[in-house]
Chain A
């Protein structure tokens, strides 16, 4: 059974950066891309981008270009999402999602507040 375990909730000031981790287990890490999706309170789902764990190549949603960075550590089978220059409307639950789309992390609440 694929397991995706994310890091804990974060509270950040506007303008700061946040880095969320997602540790994957129970499958071959390099065989599946990993996506990041977020959901603001009471809102729909929004795709941020995807990383290929094998080579580290990424594709980001244009909306987040310049602010988002996805990386991975193959030695620990962990992927990371870093979002910089945080704004109040970045407050959301951030999910990592296996590329089969049937396995999601538990979500990480990022709150941007002064």
Chain B
């Protein structure tokens, strides 16, 4: 299963509403996760099952979608949110990741 993401990269400002899209090559129901990764760090799980917020993740992050089309939304971009965001399907092996969307200023 292949995943594509758009846009890439994404330029935004503090306070902006940001939406990142992930599209799967086949139906993955809601078996999708989103990660945030900063330079030199391991990825951090933000959302699983397409829309469930991982414990401790700020509520400005939200996810939606099912089937083949998914979105990650940051309602009001904060300085610490400048990072790379990747989607991952866990519907079937081999688990695959999207190419990543870098959110920068």
Task: Name A's B-contacting residues (CB within 8 A).
Answer: 35, 37, 44-47, 49-50, 59, 61-63, 95, 101-102, 104-107
Contact = CB atoms under 8 A, between A and B. Distances in A.
Contacts of A104: 42-43
Interface stretch (B11-19, B61-69, B74-82, B94-102): B94-102
A6 to B, nearest CB: 10
A45 B97 contact: yes
B33 interface: yes
A76 B100 CA distance: 35
A18 to B, nearest CB: 19
B83 interface: no
Contacts of B86: 44-45
Looking at B43, B88, B99, the one whose CB has the most chain A CB atoms below 10 A away is B43
Contact of B98 (A44, A102, A105): A44
Contacts, number: 38
**Interface range on chain B (Cβ under 8 Å from partner):** 10 to 19
Interface of B: 33, 35, 42-43, 45, 48, 54, 86, 88, 90, 93-100
B99 A62 contact: no
A37 B93 CA distance: 13
Contact of B94 (A44, A47, A95, A102): A47
Contacts of B54: 102
B45 A44 contact: no
Nearest to A47: B95
A62 B93 CA distance: 10
B22 to A, nearest CB: 12
16 contacts: A35-B95, A44-B97, A44-B98, A44-B99, A44-B100, A46-B97, A47-B94, A47-B95, A50-B93, A62-B94, A63-B94, A101-B33, A101-B88, A101-B90, A104-B42, A106-B42
Nearest to A4: B42
Contacts of A47: 94-97
